[in-house]
Structure 1
Amino acid sequence: MSERTATAVVLGGSLAGMLAARALAGTVGRVVVVERDTLPTGPDARRGLPQARHVHQLWSGGALALEDLLPGIIERLTGAGAHRQRVTTDMVMLSAQGWFRRWAQSHFMLLCTRDLLDATVRAQVLADERIELLDATEVLSLCGTDTAVTGVRIRRTDGTESTLTAGLVVDATGRASRMPRWLTEFGLPEPERREVDAGLVYASRLYRAPEEARDGFPVVNVQADPRTGRPGRGGVLLPVEDGQWLVTLHGTRGGEPASDTADFERYAREELRHPVVADLIGRAEPLGDVAFTRMTVNRRHYYERMPAWPENLVVLGDALAAFNPVYGHGMSVAAQGAVALRDVVVRRGWGSPGLARRAQRAMARPVAAAWDLAIGQDVFCPGATRTGPTLRERLAAAYVNRLLYTATGNGRVARKVTDVMSLERGAEVLLAPGMLLAAAVGPLRPPLNEVPLTAEELKAAGLS
């Protein structure tokens, strides 16, 4: 390899960027990660990731991709305090269709704070001597032409500017990505984009769980019902490291939670469809104030559809598609995208003609799966789009709602639904003849009328 083609530059040092760096480390001599923030050495907050204070989860589809890229990472995370929760055994969930039963394990989720996840991944990635970090460094522009990118222009905190030459540039700068503008500055057309904005607002607070509820406590999730035509309100409690509960309340346009700490428990009790979250946090110790954000719009850039695409450039993670975080798919899609990037580079060969375009198309596949899940619900929220849901989206949502209703009383259907929600399988499994028949029949067991917490869990949480 020449000096130019032996280097890959990754823009952004968050989870997607670190995973992209790891994906490329085995195929090039040098990977440089450029990050605007000064990254902490441990699980500490950083300025450029305000959403870290809200709930995050890795569905098993994403966790397995993470393990593929970083062998041993799941054990390291659980050793650091992350919870490996069984789906749906360790979940108490009120869906729009009713309470889900806690069926035998089909998949799993990894739960911890975002700061712990990022720090654990970052430490393992940067231990690779082929990967170099330039933090406290701003990316100014791409270098190259409309046919090929050759590197990036950067500026350090002391004001010095320089050019990093690269055989591949990966944009993993998240929701704030300037890629559409950079492409038009090259003379390329603006990429096709779609936004579905449910107007969702997040308010989150950390709690110290009651002592007896610090190990083995389930996820508790009270979901909104998007079919009513009224603002949706929901809340989720996730067990995280150090005996803590991370609680996020969320509401769509017209039903938003307040940023006021004093209003947090009231919203959980009076605005959600069931007060179980309020009951639980009422017996827990609050740790700090409420974190608040409005950055929840679903936004997808269809870079894979561009009529022309420069060589040596790919876009990954939230810079490619950002999802309403209530579904917990963003990190999993980023991990699967990094695996797709690695596989294309290995299969086609570094520097091969059209490599970047092939990689961009491959990364669009996990994006498409999560995108359909997210907008299938959000598109029905008032004001989410200018035109409302399409006929296809209405038909798909009607079928999915019927499946979810069936899943409340049919374990086989519940497993297939979680196959898709966990991003382990594509939505086509929901169209198998057996699933169509099961949906027509409906639930095999009657609905649950009570919160499916066990007597032991109620006692541990101080509710009995």
Structure 2
Amino acid sequence: MPPDAHPRARRALVLGGGLAGSLAAAALAPYCDSVVIVERHALPDEPRPRRGLPQARHAHMLWAGGADAIEALLPGTTALWTARGARRVSLPNGMVSLSPGGWYRRCWPEVQYLISASRDLLDWGVRTRLLDDPRVTLLTGTEPLRLLGTASRVTGATVRRPDGSTADLEAELVVDAMGRTSPGTGWLAALGVPEVPETVIDAGVTYASRRYRAPRVPADWPVINIQADSRLPMAGRAATILPIEDGAWLVSVSGTRGGEPSSDEARFEEFTQRLRSPLVAEYLARAEPAGPVTVTRTTANRRRHFEKVRMPEGFLAIGEAATSLNPVYGHGMSVAAQSARALHALAARQDIAARGFARRAQRAIGRPAAAAWLLGADQDILFPGAEGRRPTRADRLAGRYVHRLIRTACSDLTVVRALTDVMTLQTGAAALAHPKVLLAALRGPRLPALDGPALTPEEESVKTAPGRDTPYGQEVAPRP
């Protein structure tokens, strides 16, 4: 159905003005007369922190699958990000990564990419491009209170305005984009909708993050990533150094149950010394802390199975209101973007008020989330102390196969390409069962494992440079 071809006026109501809500609005705007976004907090006009998004203080990697989806929905967003200091990082050669199978090599051609920037900048860029569309209205300081309608059809929502008064906003489609703690399922129950079943897998991950002023480093400084290994009989510890705008590093560390990091600033860098490699600790010794330590403990994987309930027409959930993922894998933003792109594709074919639209849209939204769940939650359940369904024999066999792939990827381009395509959500997990990938996994690593990170001479020299009394935030020329 082409834009504006519906027989009468159509309004979509999006509850939540974060990234998932903004992208849902972008997906629906071409096929509606108006899209109203309701957000309880004020949203800044510049890339600055905002209330209601504590996770923005942690490192966020926007994988290629998510970045491409955002660019398709809102052309020009990538240019807006990069103009403000975001970086396009080539994969795998733009990342120094210690996987459970060893250090990855950096000699391959580009396979995929990621966008390296603060969450504040990423959200601001999406919101700025979205609000260029005159069909989109953003109501800030406005709190959703409950859904309108019946168990058969949702017809809108009651909201509280900034002055304290309430109003009923009617719409043909209501989108719940209120995040991990969304009250949406409770509101559905109040209309008589059966309880929505959930699956929860919780490895007890705690996140701690801190911003640093980078030392004098090359302009094309890589992402540094030390991963946990679920096969070890101990808590999993991980860390990432993400180079972001304004000459800063955003450093996030995480630990599963029994190995959690602390909010104590004095112990932040001490935690990095207990990782599987000292690389992060060595670099932080040359950087200057530029903010407090922020801790987040709400990291469980939670999947709400809307497809298992007879849902009312006119309602769907997107982003973390539908599937919350452990942020250590960096898939949340990319899943929200690909879900919005799937919503856009369905709205292009069918009137949003048509019978069955919301049900079909919920299924389409769920596919990217299901792929990310396989990559993250099904690995989390293998960590000691993880809570949720116990791993089956099939889970353990799959885990051994994935580890074989990861170890092989340290020296095999075929497997590097397959794993990177899947990790960046550019293709589904079925790609890991392609005959060429299966053959490479059977053959195993082609080269001896690296005995340390694949650093350039410039990157190596930073580890031994003078400490924190040197100038910060200065760049040297990128390597040829």
Report the TM-score when normalising by structure 2. 0.94
Q: Does 1:273 align with 2:276?
A: yes
1:375 aligns with 2:380: no
Question: Relative to structure 1, is the Cα distance of residues 299 and 386 closer, same or farther in structure 2, using a 3 angstrom cutoff?
Answer: closer
What amino acid maps onto 1:458 in structure 2? E
Q: Secondary structure at the match of 2:338?
A: helix
Looking at structure 2, the residues matched to 156 and 4 of structure 1 have their Cα atoms a distance apart, in angstroms, of 28
The aligned residue for residue 112 of structure 2 is 107
Secondary structure at 1:439 match in 2: helix
Matches within 5 A, 1:20-169: 20-102=24-106, 103-169=108-174
Alpha carbons 1:107, 1:419 under 8 Å: kept: yes
Superposition deviation, residue 189 in structure 1: 1.5
SS of the residue aligned with 1:33?
strand
Partner of residue 391, structure 2: 389
The 1-side partners of 2:284 and 2:165 are apart by 50
In structure 2, what is the Cα distance between the partners aligned to 1:444 and 1:100?
A: 13
Give the AA of the match of 2:90: R
Report the secondary structure of 1:343's partner residue: helix
Count of residues in correspondence between the two structures:
461
Q: What's the % identity of the aligned pairs?
A: 50
Q: Which residue of 2 aligns with 1:360?
A: 362
Deviation for aligned residue 1:176: 1.1
- 1:119-167 residue CA offsets vs partner (Å, 9 max, x unmatched): 1111111121111011111111000001100000000232100100001
Q: CA deviation at 1:373?
A: 0.3
3-state SS, counterpart of residue 32 of structure 1: strand
Instruction: Tell me the distance in 2 between the aligned counterparts of 1:74 and 1:166.
Output: 31
| Partners of 1:24 and 1:342 within 8 A in 2 | yes
Aligned-partner Cα distance in 1 for 2:233–2:34: 53
8 Å CA contact 1:207–1:285 kept in 2: the answer is yes
**Structure 1 residue 460: Cα displacement:** 4.5
Mapped to 1, the partners of 2:385 and 2:21 lie a distance apart of 33
AA at the equivalent of 2:29:
A
Partner residue of 2:477?
none
Corresponding residue number in structure 2 for 1:336: 338
* Cα distance per residue 1:175-212 (max 9 Å; x no partner): 01112212221222111210110100111011111133
Paired residue secondary structure (1:142): strand
Letter in 2 for 1:186: L
- Cα displacement (A) at 1:463: 4.7
Structure 2 distance, partners of 1:378, 1:302, is: 19
Q: Distance in 1 between matches of 2:21 and 2:8?
A: 20
Structure 1 moving runs of 4+ over 4 Å: 1-5, 460-464
CA contact (8 A) 2:206 2:261 kept: yes
Q: Is the 8 A contact 2:199 2:304 kept in 1?
A: yes
Consecutive unaligned residues in structure 2, runs of 5 or more: 467-480
CA–CA distance in structure 1, aligned partners of residues 153 and 29 of structure 2 = 22
> For the structure 1 residues 58 and 170, does the alpha-carbon distance in structure 2 shift closer, same or farther, using more than 3 Å as the test?
same
CA RMSD of aligned residues (A): 1.5
2:86 partner letter: A
Alignment of 1:254 onto 2:254: no
Correspondent of 1:403 among 399, 402, 405: 405
1:229-248 mapped onto 2 (5 Å cutoff): 229-248=233-252
Aligned residue type for 1:120: G
TM-score in terms of structure 1 length? 0.97
SS of the residue corresponding to residue 78 of structure 1 reads helix
**Compared CA separation, residues 5 and 170, structure 1 to 2 (3 A):** farther
